[in-house]
């Protein structure tokens, strides 16, 4: 669960830099403030902010508002949806997405495993 919160913080830091290339703060509070500003200005969606606030809640209280497995599944679906639709990055197909996940933030091995499972389940070259 702690690794999940770390991934959420890193992802939100990426979002901060994506929208403001001069953003360099790495504290949870700075990232939360910036993401909140982006949500208020409608540049970023509330679901992304929700995952960040849940991660902050876990770091403070060691609990989430929903079962961890459900939260993790929704976060992964959310990231793939953003990448697959090109909302925060160019649209990526399976091979390119796998390479990207392997080289971003020292690699995201869990997401790579989920991507591989999704490809097998859907047996599609377009994933």
> What is the C-alpha to C-alpha distance for residues 15 and 20, in angstroms, rounded to an integer?
8
Q: What is the DSSP string of 21-66?
A: TT----SHHHHHHHHHHHHHTTSS-HHHHHHHHHHHHHHHHS--SS
Per-residue model confidence (pLDDT) at position 90:
66
To the nearest whole percent, how much of the chain has pLDDT over 70?
A: 84
Above 50 in pLDDT, residue 127?
no
Closest CA to 11 of 56, 62, 37, 48: 48
**What's the pLDDT tens digit per position in 58-86?**
999 999 999 999 999 888 878 777 766 66
Above 70 in pLDDT, residue 121?
no
Is residue 93 within 8 A of residue 126, CB to CB? The reply is: yes
Give the alpha-carbon dihedral of 55, 59, 62, 63, to 10 degrees.
-20
Per-residue model confidence (pLDDT) at position 107:
67
Question: Mean pLDDT throughout 15-22?
Answer: 90
């Amino acid at each position: 669960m702690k690794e999940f919160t770390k991934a959420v913080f890193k992802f939100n830091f990426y979002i901060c830099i994506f929208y403001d290339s001069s953003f360099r703060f790495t504290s949870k509070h700075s990232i939360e403030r910036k993401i909140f500003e982006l949500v208020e200005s409608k540049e970023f969606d509330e679901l992304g902010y929700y995952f960040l606030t849940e991660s902050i809640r876990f770091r403070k209280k060691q609990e989430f508002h929903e079962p961890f497995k459900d939260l993790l599944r929704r976060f992964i679906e959310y990231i793939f949806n953003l990448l697959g639709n090109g909302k925060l990055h160019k649209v990526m197909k399976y091979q390119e997405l796998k390479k990207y996940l392997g080289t971003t933030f020292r690699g995201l091995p869990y997401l790579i495993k989920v991507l591989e499972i999704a490809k097998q389940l859907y047996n599609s070259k377009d994933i």
